[in-house]
Structure 1
Amino acid sequence: MVSIQVAGEALVDIYNSQAHPGGSPLNVAVGLGRLGHEVELSTEVGSDEHGQLIVEHLKASGVKLSEGSVSQSPTSTATVVLDGCANASYEFELNCTMGQLALNDAQLLHTGSIAAFRSPSAQQIIELFAARPAGQLRSYDPNLRPALVENRAQAIGNVEKLCSLAHVVKLSDEDAMWLYPGWDTDRVLEHLLNLGASLAVMTFGARGCEARTRHCEVAVASRSVRTVDTIGAGDAFMAGLLHAIATGDLAQNLLAGEKLDRGQLEAALELATACAGMTVARAGANPPTLEELQSFMAKTIA
Structure 2
Amino acid sequence: MVSIQVAGEALVDIVNSVAHPGGSPLNVAVGLGRLGHEVTLATDLGTDEHGQLIADHLQGSGVELAEGSQSDAPTSTATVVLDESANASYEFELNCSLGKLAASEASLLHTGSIAAFRSPSAQKLIDLFLAAPPNQLRSYDPNLRPALVEDRAKAISHIEKLSSLSHVVKLSDEDSMWLYPGWDTDRVLEHLLDLGASLAVMTFGARGAEARTRNCEVVVPSLSVPTADTVGAGDAFMAGLLHGIVDGPLAQNLRDGSTLDRAELEAALQIAAACAGMTVARTGANPPTLSELNEFMAGAGR
Smaller-chain TM-score range?
Answer: over 0.9
Structure 2 gap segments, 5+ residues each? none
Shift of 1:272: 0.2
Corresponding residue number in structure 1 for 2:135: 135
> Quick one: distance in 2 between partners of 1:175 and 1:71?
31
Corresponding residue number in structure 1 for 2:237: 237
Q: Count how many residue pairs are aligned between Structure 1 and Structure 2.
A: 302
> Quick one: distance in 2 between partners of 1:300 and 1:84?
30
Corresponding residue number in structure 1 for 2:277: 277
Structure 1 gap segments, 5+ residues each? none
Corresponding residue number in structure 2 for 1:216: 216
> Quick one: distance in 2 between partners of 1:5 and 1:278?
24
SS in 2 for 1:84: coil
Counterparts of 1:283-294 in structure 2, within 5 Å, are: 283-294=283-294
Shift of 1:150: 0.1
Is the 1:129–1:165 Cα contact (8 Å) retained in structure 2? yes
Corresponding residue number in structure 2 for 1:182: 182
SS in 2 for 1:292: helix
Is 2:119 the partner of 1:119?
A: yes
Shift of 1:120: 0.1
> Quick one: distance in 2 between partners of 1:275 and 1:301?
15
Corresponding residue number in structure 1 for 2:56: 56
> Quick one: distance in 2 between partners of 1:79 and 1:111?
22
Shift of 1:225: 0.3
Shift of 1:104: 1.5
> Quick one: distance in 1 between partners of 2:155 and 2:175?
12
Is the 1:69–1:100 Cα contact (8 Å) retained in structure 2? no
Is 2:242 the partner of 1:254?
A: no
With the length of structure 2 as denominator, give the TM-score of the two structures.
Answer: 0.99
Counterparts of 1:157-168 in structure 2, within 5 Å, are: 157-168=157-168
SS in 1 for 2:191: helix
Corresponding residue number in structure 2 for 1:25: 25
Corresponding residue number in structure 2 for 1:34: 34
Shift of 1:160: 0.1
Is the 1:45–1:74 Cα contact (8 Å) retained in structure 2? yes
SS in 1 for 2:278: helix
The alignment yields a C-alpha RMSD, in angstroms, of 0.6
- Residue 135 of structure 1 aligns with an amino acid whose one-letter code is N
Is the 1:228–1:280 Cα contact (8 Å) retained in structure 2? yes
* Percent of residue pairs bearing the same amino acid type: 77
With the length of structure 1 as denominator, give the TM-score of the two structures.
Answer: 0.99
- Residue 81 of structure 1 aligns with an amino acid whose one-letter code is V
> Quick one: distance in 1 between partners of 2:247 and 2:293?
14
Is the 1:102–1:128 Cα contact (8 Å) retained in structure 2? yes
Shift of 1:17: 1.2
Q: Where do 4+ consecutive residues of structure 1 move more than 3 Å? A: none
SS in 1 for 2:258: coil
Is the 2:104–2:132 Cα contact (8 Å) retained in structure 1? no
Shift of 1:44: 0.5
